[in-house]
Amino acid sequence: MADLKQNNLRATALIQMLRPIVRYWLRRADRFQEFSELLKIVFVDVAREELARSNSKVNVSRIHMLTGVHRNDVSRIFKQGAQPKILPDFLSRLIGQWEQDPEFQTSNGTPKVLTFLGKNNDFNKLVEKVSKGVSPGTVLFELERSNAIKRTSRGIKLVRSTQRHTKDEERVIALSGEMVESMLGAAQGNIGAGDISPNVLLRTRYDNIYRSDVEDIRAWLRAEAKALHKRVRDYLSLRDKDIVERAPKAGETEQAAGLTVVFGSFGVIEEDGEALDDGSNSSNQLESEIFSG
C-alpha cells in the first residue's frame, strides 16, 4: 500500500512537471510523435549515464531492461552515441574568475582593468586560467559583443557581471533546463530528510497583486536577486579551489575539492497561470548569474 501511494505521488508530481513542458511544445506546433522520440533519446542517454555511474556494463540489453524502451529503438539511439552536453557558460565562468580571483582584482577587491595586447597580457592569463583550449581573441570578441567589457586607454574594463540571453532562445531554454534539473535534484535530496532539509527549496507566492505595481515589483525583484547573487558569489568564491588554494590538512597532500554548489532564483508575474509580458520583452529578461569553477 505504501509503495502504491508513493507511486501515485510520483505520478502526480511528474504530471505537474510535464504540463509546462508540453504547453511549450504545443505552442510551437510540434506534435506528440516528435516529443515521444525525444523521450526515448533521453531515457537511453540517462540510462547510459546511470549504468556507467554504477560501473555496470553499458550495452543495448541492459539499457532496454532498465528503461523499457523497445530494443530496436535502443539499438538505433545507442549507435548514435551520447547526446552532447551543454557545457557551463564559458563567459560566465571567466567573468566570475575576473571578479573573484585576487590575481585579477585591485587592492580594494574590484575587477582590474586588464591589458590585452602583446603575448603575456593579463587577459590571456585570465582566459588560460579558466581553460587552455579557448582562443583569447574569440573570448574578447564575445565579451565585446555582449557589452560586458569596454576598452580604455589602460586596457579592458569589466562593466557588466551578468549575461543577458533574452534574444538567444536556445540559451534561454538551456538555462531553464539547468535550473529545473537543479531544483529537482534539491527536492529529491530533501525527501526523507530530518528536521533540517539539506537543500534550499523556497517559494513565495501572492495571488492578488495590484496591476499598477507590476513594473515596480519587477524592478525590485531584479535588484534584490542581483544583490543576493553577488553576496553568494563573494561567499562561495572564498571556498572554490580554482580561486583560493588552501594548505593541506595533516596527513593530506591537498584539500579535497570538486563539489558543485548551485544557487538559483527566478521571479515571474502571472495572469491565469501565464507569465505576464508587457509586449516589449524588456521586462522579463532572463539572466545567467556568474559562477566559477
Dump pLDDT digits (tens) for 195-210. Answer: 788 999 898 999 999 9
Sorted by sequence, the CB contacts under 8 Å of residue 179 that are 6+ apart come out as: 264, 266
Query: In angstroms, rounded to a whole number, what is the distance separating the alpha carbons of residues 226 and 237?
Result: 16
Q: What percent of the chain has pLDDT over 70?
A: 84
Question: 148 pLDDT exceeds 50?
Answer: yes
H/E stretch holding 270: strand 270-271
pLDDT, position 43: 93
Instruction: Count Cβ atoms within 10 A of the Cβ of residue 265 and give its class: 0-12 exposed, 13-18 middle, 19 or more buried.
Output: middle
The residue ranking higher by pLDDT, 16 or 220, is 220
By C-alpha distance, which of 48, 53, 52 is closest to 79? 48
Mean pLDDT of 170-193: 81
pTM of the predicted structure, to 2 decimals: 0.63
pLDDT digits (tens, 9 = 90+) for 207-224: 999 999 999 999 999 999
Per-residue model confidence (pLDDT) at position 204 = 92
SS3 content of the chain, % helix, strand, coil (to 5): 50, 5, 45
Answer whether 123's CB lies under 8 Å from 115's CB. yes
Q: How many CA atoms lie within 13 A of 53 on its CB side?
A: 6
Could you tell me which residue, 154 or 88, shows the higher pLDDT?
A: 154
23 CB contacts (<8 Å, ≥6 apart)? none
Are 131 and 122 in contact, with CB atoms under 8 Å apart?
Answer: no
Q: What percent of the chain has pLDDT over 90?
A: 31
Contacts 24+ apart (CB under 8 A), 103-109: 103/129
**What's the mean pLDDT in 27-56?**
88
Mean pLDDT score of the chain:
82
Sign of CA dihedral 63, 67, 68, 73: negative
Between 115 and 27, the more confident residue is 115
Average pLDDT over residues 230-254: 87
How far CA 113 is from CA of 52, 121, 137, 208, 226, in Å, comes to 45, 11, 17, 47, 23
Contact 51, 57 (CB under 8 A): yes
Please, what is the angle between helix 32-53 and helix 71-80, to 10°?
A: 70
Q: Is the dihedral of CA 104, 138, 82, 170 positive or negative?
A: positive
**Average of per-residue pLDDT across 265-269:** 88
